[in-house]
Amino acid sequence: MHDLVIRGGSVVDGTGAPARQADVAIDGGRISAVGAVPGEARETIDATGKLVTPGFVDIHTHFDGQITWDPTLSPTSWHGVTTVVMGNCGVGFAPVAPGKENWLIGLMEGVEDIPGAALSEGMEWHWETFPEYLDYIEQLPMALDVGTQVPHGAVRAYVMGDRGAHNEPANPEDIAEMARVVKESVRAGALGFSTSRTLAHRAIDGEPVPGTFAAEDELFGIGAVLGELDAGLFEVAAAGITGDDLSMPLKEVAWMRRLAATIGRPVTFGLTEVNTDPDHWRGILDATAAARAEGANIVPQVHGRTVTYLMTLDSRHPFLRLPAYREIRHLPLAERAAAMQRPERRAAILAQADGRPDPSLDFVSFERMFLLDDALDYEPEPGDSIAARARREGVAPIELVYDLLTADGGRNMLLSPLFNYARGDLEHTRAMLTDPHTAIGLADGGAHCRVICDAGTPTFMLTHWTRDRTRGARLPLEQVVKWQTRDTAALFGLHDRGALLPAYKADVNVIDYAALALARPEVAYDLPGGAKRLVQRATGYDATIVSGTVVRRDGEDTGERPGVLLRGAQPAPA
């Protein structure tokens, strides 16, 4: 008798092979058979008319703190994800010198916009070294499997103290000690090492992330550890990734190319279409292809849609800091919206506004800002932008933003693509996704809580790219599933998952493909201490299974906790 049989579904197995109708049997947490499975099972799931896929592997998350209080790792787990990788962008919570815990919280809050109050309230610190951090995580209840990287920012500050935190140059002794710490961490189970070099990443005090200006001797000295151990991946948030300095990305690829060739390990970095030069990504992909042709394994991580800034009256918006708004900000949402609609209050707030969509973010533009209505169009027409609508209506764009945000009881939401939408569609995103050398990432689950909610990207990949897209070519379902299962798993050396094949780990989704849909993003006050975040749910996931155990059924947590800490690469089944 099998433990579990999923019967009669359309199996998209993660290898890229055509979908086929088949049963999937699970025993002992592993796939035991795919095909016509006879006999009985302790549990049977009827998947007639449904998709059956491997669980999704999300390689770019920031649950380093949330994992200590949330065993489900929401909202990422709501979207068919069964494995996450955290410790990205050079930030995390280990190692930590005693007394420096709050400094690491401020670093994470500044870089990833995770409320520091929630981290302070929710986290309990039971470690100093990175191996001790892994030991603590390992004993936590988890619905999903979790792997992590050792972050440069934490390592630098731990080894160099204030010199490291303030980005002073590392001397040879510093580099040797950082290499020792990273070696210890990878031996203990870190999946790799991460660093950030973008000026967009700053601590809450405005200081760039430790390591931002690290010289090559530091980067190569640490990277050499991965080569020595023949283990782990080197992850980079590269300089110039936001388009702030277009001279930097190709320089970054040049040193990453030499590093990958020198250490013989993968190097991965984020790649987006930037507004300052919408074709700049092409040169980066050309350089990547040339590097790979010479044997340097460098892999750009690309996003499955726009990096989406969301504006709502209950979170971040252009009027947040204005005195006339602050007088009423204490009111409940509906009352606040009604107060803002009164002519005298409207006039007072707009008189204080400087007309920009977000005074703190120069790359937010009215030309790339749209009303996100119930249709949830993440590839909207440029003619529907706030700027275009304002021109048609003969009003200032900031006035239109004001009126939209205060309508519908304050529940309206505006979408502003920060990257991947310079030309008003997702064609460049499609080209980056289909490049043979890229991997899908950058969903940023757990991060940017007040302004970005891209953790639903795995669902979007299925709904938009394979089924619903109208403004260009769609993508094959089998290929999209492979990208976010077997391919993402393989990049991090997790060769035991990502495919519905005998002996592979039984991480599975049963999906009502016809009914699969993203819900409208919403503001939730569910972080520790009542701190708020943006979340996005989905419908259509009948079951999500981790190691043969159903962890979500009909979109709801079952309370089962079969997840484990991943210590290092996982070999493919024999």
CA distances from 391 to 301, 351, 399, 501 (A): 37, 20, 12, 56
Nearest-Å Rg of the Cα atoms of the chain is: 23
Determine the average pLDDT of the residues in 504-508. Answer: 98
Structure-block tokens of residue 262: 């020198």
What is the distance between the alpha carbons of residues 309 and 233, in angstroms, rounded to a whole number? Answer: 29
d(CA 507, CA 561): 13
Rounded to the nearest 10°, the torsion over CA 246, 250, 252, 255 is -160
Percent of the chain predicted with pLDDT > 90: 96
Query: Buried (b) or exposed (e) across 54-76, using 16+ Cβ within 10 A?
Result: bbbbbbbbbbbbbbbebbbbbbb
Residue entry with tokens 């350089």: 287
Q: What is the pLDDT of residues 141-165, one digit of tens each?
A: 999 999 999 999 999 999 999 999 9
Average pLDDT over residues 270-292: 96
Structure tokens at 443: 């969903």
Q: Region 100-114: what's the mean pLDDT? A: 96
Is the pLDDT reported for residue 361 higher than 80? no
Spatial distance between the Cα atoms of 515 and 512, rounded to a whole number of angstroms: 5
Do the beta carbons of residue 248 and residue 198 sit within 8 Å?
no
Asked if residue 574 has pLDDT above 90, the reply is no
Structure-token match 């494995």, residue found: 83
**Structural contact between residues 61 and 551, judged by C-beta atoms closer than 8 angstroms:** no
pLDDT at 116 over 90: yes
**d(Cα 37, Cα 22) in Å, to the nearest integer?**
8
**Residue 211 near residue 196 (C-beta atoms within 8 A):** yes
- Per-residue pLDDT tens digits for 72-98: 999 999 999 999 999 999 999 999 999
Check if the beta carbon of residue 288 is closer than 8 Å to that of residue 282: no
What confidence tens digit (pLDDT) does each residue in 420-436 have? 999 999 999 999 999 99
**Average pLDDT of the residues in 378-401:** 97
Domains present along the chain, CATH in parentheses = 2-54+503-557 (2.30.40.10), 57-306+421-462 (3.20.20.140), 309-417 (no CATH)
Average pLDDT over residues 350-372: 86
Q: Are strands 541-546 and 508-511 parallel, antiparallel or unpaired?
A: antiparallel
Instruction: Specify whether the CB–CB gap between 547 and 29 falls below 8 A.
Output: yes
Residue where the block lists tokens 């520091």: 116
Q: Tokens at residue 474, please?
A: 């769609």
pLDDT at residue 360, rounded to an integer: 66
Helices 101-112 and 152-160: crossing angle, nearest 10°?
150
Average pLDDT of the chain is 96
Q: By the 8 A CB rule, do 63 and 114 touch?
A: no
For 285-332, the pLDDT digits (tens) are 999 999 999 999 999 999 999 999 999 999 999 999 999 999 999 999
Strand stretches in 36-107, DSSP E: 41-46, 51-54, 56-58, 81-86
- Residues 170, 163: Cα–Cα separation, whole Å: 8
307-312 vs 298-302, strand pairing mode: unpaired
Note the pLDDT of residue 49: 98
Q: Span 465-477, mean pLDDT? A: 98
What span, in angstroms and rounded, lies between the C-alpha atoms of 352 and 363? 21
Residue 124 has a pLDDT of 93
C-beta separation of 233 from 267 below 8 A: yes
| DSSP class per residue in 431-444 | HHHHSTT-EE----
Amino acid 413: pLDDT: 97
Query: Tokens representing 32?
Result: 């035991």
SS3 per residue for 481-521: HHHHHHHHHHHCCECCCCCCCCCCECCEEEECCCCCEECCC
- As a whole number, mean pLDDT of residues 166-176 equals 97
d(CA 426, CA 432): 10
Please give the distance of CA 390 from its chain centroid, rounded to a whole number: 33
